[in-house]
C-alpha cells in the first residue's frame, strides 16, 4: 500500500514533510537551487546539445513536488535546434507521493513554470505502486514516475548490460533524516543502471555518501554548494560495468525500423502505428478486411477496466498500469478532438454469486489499491451509482467506462497519420512471409511486397497462419455480443455492469449484452442460441427487477474471436524459433541458469503483437508503447517481471524450467 506524504507549509510557504521534518526545496529560491545543483552540475546545458543518442535519460531518487522534473523539461525545450536529442526521459522514484492538492499549492511558487506545472497536475497519478508513464508534448517528454521505495523499485527496471541512465539527480531528504534511502545498495544500483560516462550530482557533501559512490565506481569531487551551503558532490562513471537484469532469453534486439510493415487492422494495430509515429517511424499497413476494426475490435461498445486481483502480482500490475495509461491516452485523443463515442461512467463489478462476493471482498480488504481506482460499494450505493434497482453490491471502478472500439481504432489511426503519414492497403490478405538477404517480403496472391526491415504480425486470430508463427501457441475464444432494445427503466442505467458478462448503458436506444465464451473456435458466425444464452444469463441475475423486465428484444448481434494464450497474457516481441530456444537454453531443464548457447535468430525483424483476449482496449496502448520503446533501447514502462511475462520466449522457457520439453 502506497501512503501519501503528510505535509504542511511553513511561514515561507515552503512544503515540509512531516515524516522527515525536512523541506522539499530551499526557503530562499527552490527553482534556482534545483537548476544549480542538478541541472548545471550535471553539465546538462552542454550535454543536451552534444549528446550522441536521440534520447537522454535523467533519473532522480526523490520526486517530491516535481520541481527538478519541471525545470529539466523547461530547459530541455530551450536546447539548441541542432541538438541530436528528440526525447527526454525522466525516471523518478517516490515512496510517499504528495497529494494532488498539495502539489498544486507547492507549484504556485513558480509562475514561470505554470504551463508545465498545469500539464503535470492534469496527469498526476493516484498513489498506486509501480511505474506510471506520463507523456507530454506527444511523447517528446516522458516521465516514468515509480511509486514505492527506491530500494525496491530500482531492481524492477528492465535494462540491458550497457545501462540506461545518462544523468542522476541524487535528491531526497537529508541523509541524517532519511537514512533508509542513502545506502550502498542505492549507489550500486545507480552504477548498474548507468551508461558509460553517466554523471550524478547531489546537494549533500556527507563523507559516507561520497565514499559509497566511489565504491560503486563513480569518480567523485566536491564543488561549491548552492547559496549558504559550502559544498556538494558531483561525479561521473567513466565506464559502465556490464550488468543486466534481463536474462538473454527475454531480451529484445534493437530494430532498424527504417521500413516497417504491419499486418492487422484492430486497436493494437492502430496503437502500434501511433507509438511508432511518435518516434518518427513511417509504416505500411496491410489489412485483409475492407476497413479497420472488422475483427475483435468491431463491437459497438466495449468496456474499459482493469482485471485486478487480491495480490499485486504480475497480472494486477500489468492491468492496473495498462488501464491508467490507456485512460490518459484516450482522454488526450478526445481533448485533441479525435472523435469516438465513449463515456467514462465507471464500471460496476457486481457480486452476483457467493464466489464473486468473496473475490470482491478479498480485493477490497487487500488495501493494495487506492479507492480512486477501485472501491467496495454496498447494494444501496450500487443502486445510486447505476440508477437502476440492482440487488447486488460489489466493486466500483470509477474511472472506467465504455468506448466504441471501431471509432476508437479509427481515431488512433488518424492520430498516428497526423504525426507521420502511413500507407494502408485494405482487402490485402498476406499469405506468406519470406526473409531474403535484403529483408522481409510479404506474399499476397503470389505477389511479393517488400523488402521490409521489420514486420509486425498484429493479425488477431490469424497471427499463427504463417510458417514462422505457427508455434506461438495462440488459441481462439469466440464471443457473441447481443444488442438488446432498451426499456424505460434500463435507459436510466448510468454505468457499465459486469456480472458474469457485461451490460452497457444505452446507446441509440440499445444496450450491448454479452458475451458468450466458446473455446478453441475462430468462427465469426452469428448464432441465435448465443442471443438466447446472453439474455438468459442476464435474467438469471436480475430476474424480477424493473431494469430486467423493461428490456425489449434482441435486435442484432456481433461475433468475434478473442485471441488468448494459456497464461492469459499478450505476446509481444521478436518471433522465436522454438527449436532454437530449446536447444540454446536446455540447461534450464537441469536447474541451471548458466552455460547457455544462444544461436543467431533466424526471424530477426519479425515481431508478434497478439493475444489481448477481451482486454485489448485496456492493454493495447501501453503494450505497444513497451514494445516500441524496447526496439529503440529506451526505458521501458513495464517492470522487469511484466516484461518477461510478455516476451515470446516465455512459454518455452517455462516448459524448460518445468522439464516439460
In the predicted structure, residue 23 carries a pLDDT above the cut 90: no
The dihedrals phi and psi of 552, each to the nearest 5 degrees, come to -90, -150
Determine the Cα–Cα distance for residues 570 and 147; give it in Å rounded to an integer. Answer: 25
pLDDT at position 572 is: 96
Judge residue 67's burial from the number of C-beta atoms within 10 Å of its C-beta, 0-12 exposed, 13-18 middle, 19 or more buried. buried
Per the model's pLDDT, the better-predicted residue between 602 and 109 turns out to be 109
Region 72-90 average pLDDT: 95
Strand-pair category, 165-170 with 194-202: parallel
Q: CATH number for the domain including 419? A: 3.50.50.60
Asked if the structure places residue 598 within a domain, the reply is yes
Identify the band that residue 20 occupies on the pLDDT scale cut at 50, 70 and 90. confident
Residue 244's pLDDT is 59
The pLDDT value recorded for residue 161 is 64
Pick the last residue of a domain from 562, 593, 613: 562
pLDDT at 70: 98
Do 585 and 461 share a structural domain? yes
Residue 313 in any domain: the answer is no
Task: Return the pLDDT at 660.
Answer: 83
Instruction: Indicate the number of domains in the chain.
Output: 3
Give me the CATH number covering residue 52: 3.40.50.150
Burial label for 367, CB within 10 Å (0-12, 13-18, 19+), is exposed
**pTM for this structure?**
0.96
pLDDT score for 465: 94
Same domain, 150 and 276: no
Question: Is the residue at 509 inside a domain?
Answer: yes
Read off the pLDDT band of 229 (50, 70, 90). confident
| Domain end point (choices 192, 212, 237) | 237
156 and 48 fall within a common domain: yes
**What are the pLDDT digits (tens) for 126-167?**
999 999 999 999 999 999 999 999 999 999 998 766 789 999
User: Quick check: is 336 in a domain?
Assistant: no
275 has pLDDT over 90: yes
Average pLDDT over all residues of the chain:
93
Mean pLDDT of 17-24: 77
pLDDT of residue 600: 61
Does 231 have pLDDT greater than 90? yes
Q: What is the distance between the terminal CA atoms of the chain, rounded to a whole angstrom?
A: 39
CB 50 within 8 A of CB 40: no
Residue 378's domain comprises: 347-398+476-562
The reply to whether 114 falls in a domain is yes
pLDDT higher for 454 or 14?
A: 454
Residue 161 lies in a domain: yes
Is it the case that residue 484 has pLDDT exceeding 90? yes
Q: Are residues 41 and 80 in the same domain?
A: yes
Identify which of 192, 169, 151, 143 has the alpha carbon closest to the alpha carbon of residue 62.
169
In this predicted structure, the answer to whether residue 599 has a pLDDT above a threshold of 70 is no
Q: Is the pLDDT of residue 393 over 70?
A: yes
pLDDT at 505 over 70: yes
In a domain, 301, yes or no: no
Amino acid at each position: 500500500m502506497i501512503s501519501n506524504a503528510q505535509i504542511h507549509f511553513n511561514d515561507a510557504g515552503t512544503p515540509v514533510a512531516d515524516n522527515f521534518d525536512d523541506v522539499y526545496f530551499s526557503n530562499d529560491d527552490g527553482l534556482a537551487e534545483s537548476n544549480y545543483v542538478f541541472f548545471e552540475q550535471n553539465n546538462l546545458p552542454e550535454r543536451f546539445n552534444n549528446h550522441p543518442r536521440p534520447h537522454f535519460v535523467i533519473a532522480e531518487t526523490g520526486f517530491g513536488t516535481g520541481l527538478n522534473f519541471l525545470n529539466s523539461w523547461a530547459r530541455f525545450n530551450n536546447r539548441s535546434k541542432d541538438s541530436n536529442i528528440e526525447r527526454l526521459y525522466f525516471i523518478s522514484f517516490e515512496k510517499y507521493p504528495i497529494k494532488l492538492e498539495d502539489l498544486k499549492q507547492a507549484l504556485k511558487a513558480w509562475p514561470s513554470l505554470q504551463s508545465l506545472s498545469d500539464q503535470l497536475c492534469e496527469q498526476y497519478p493516484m498513489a498506486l505502486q509501480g511505474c506510471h508513464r506520463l507523456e507530454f508534448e506527444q511523447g517528446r517528454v516522458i516521465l516514468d514516475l515509480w511509486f514505492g521505495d527506491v530500494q525496491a523499485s530500482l531492481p524492477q527496471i528492465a535494462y540491458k548490460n550497457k545501462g540506461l541512465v545518462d544523468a542522476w539527480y541524487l535528491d531526497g531528504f537529508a541523509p541524517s533524516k532519511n537514512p533508509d534511502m542513502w545506502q550502498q545498495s542505492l549507489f550500486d544500483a545507480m552504477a548498474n543502471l548507468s551508461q558509460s560516462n553517466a554523471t550524478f550530482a547531489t546537494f549533500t557533501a556527507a563523507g559516507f555518501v561520497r565514499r559509497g559512490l566511489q565504491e560503486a565506481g563513480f569518480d567523485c569531487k566536491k564543488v561549491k554548494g548552492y547559496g549558504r551551503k559550502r559544498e556538494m558532490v558531483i561525479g561521473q562513471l567513466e565506464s559502465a560495468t556490464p550488468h543486466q537484469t534481463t536474462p538473454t532469453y527475454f531480451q529484445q534486439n534493437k530494430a532498424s525500423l527504417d521500413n516497417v510493415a504491419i499486418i492487422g487492422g484492430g486497436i493494437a494495430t492502430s496503437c502500434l502505428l501511433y507509438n511508432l509515429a511518435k518516434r518518427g517511424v513511417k509504416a505500411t499497413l496491410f489489412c485483409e478486411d475492407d476497413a479497420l476494426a472488422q475483427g475483435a475490435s468491431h463491437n459497438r461498445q466495449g468496456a474499459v477496466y482493469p482485471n485486478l486481483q487480491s495480490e499485486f502480482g504480475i497480472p494486477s500490475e500489468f492491468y492496473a498500469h495498462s488501464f491508467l495509461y490507456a485512460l490518459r491516452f484516450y482522454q488526450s485523443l478526445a481533448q485533441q478532438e479525435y472523435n469516438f463515442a465513449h463515456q467514462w461512467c465507471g464500471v460496476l463489478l457486481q457480486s452476483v454469486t457467493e464466489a464473486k462476493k468473496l473475490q470482491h471482498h478479498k480485493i477490497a480488504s487487500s488495501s493494495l489499491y487506492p479507492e480512486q481506482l477501485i472501491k467496495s460499494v454496498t447494494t444501496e450505493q450500487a443502486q445510486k451509482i447505476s440508477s437502476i434497482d440492482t440487488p447486488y453490491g460489489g466493486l466500483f471502478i470509477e474511472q472506467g467506462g465504455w468506448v466504441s472500439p471501431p471509432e476508437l481504432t479509427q481515431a488512433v489511426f488518424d492520430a498516428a497519420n497526423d504525426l507521420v503519414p502511413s500507407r494502408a492497403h485494405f482487402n490485402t490478405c498476406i499469405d506468406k512471409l519470406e526473409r531474403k538477404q535484403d529483408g522481409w517480403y510479404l506474399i499476397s496472391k503470389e505477389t511479393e511486397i517488400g523488402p521490409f526491415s521489420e514486420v509486425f504480425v498484429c493479425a488477431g486470430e490469424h497471427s499463427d497462419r504463417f510458417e514462422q508463427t505457427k508455434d506461438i501457441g495462440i488459441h481462439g475464444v469466440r464471443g457473441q455480443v447481443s444488442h438488446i432494445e432498451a426499456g424505460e427503466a434500463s435507459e436510466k442505467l448510468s454505468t457499465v455492469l459486469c456480472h458474469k458478462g457485461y451490460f452497457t448503458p444505452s446507446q441509440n436506444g440499445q444496450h450491448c449484452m454479452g458475451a458468450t465464451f466458446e473455446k478453441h473456435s475462430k468462427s465469426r458466425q452469428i448464432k441465435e442460441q448465443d442471443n438466447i444464452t446472453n439474455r438468459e444469463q442476464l435474467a438469471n441475475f436480475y430476474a424480477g427487477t424493473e431494469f430486467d423486465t423493461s428490456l425489449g428484444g434482441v435486435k442484432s448481434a456481433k461475433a468475434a474471436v478473442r485471441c488468448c494464450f494459456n497464461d492469459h497474457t499478450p505476446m509481444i516481441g521478436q518471433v522465436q524459433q522454438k527449436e532454437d530456444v530449446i536447444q540454446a537454453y536446455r540447461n534450464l531443464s537441469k536447474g541451471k541458469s548458466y552455460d547457455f548457447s544462444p544461436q543467431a535468430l533466424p526471424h530477426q525483424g519479425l515481431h508478434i503483437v497478439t493475444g489481448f483476449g477481451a482486454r485489448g482496449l485496456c492493454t493495447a496502448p501501453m503494450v505497444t508503447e513497451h514494445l516500441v520503446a524496447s526496439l529503440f533501447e529506451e526505458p521501458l514502462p513495464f517492470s522487469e517481471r511484466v516484461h518477461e511475462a510478455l516476451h515470446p520466449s516465455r512459454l518455452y522457457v517455462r516448459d524448460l524450467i518445468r522439464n516439460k520439453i
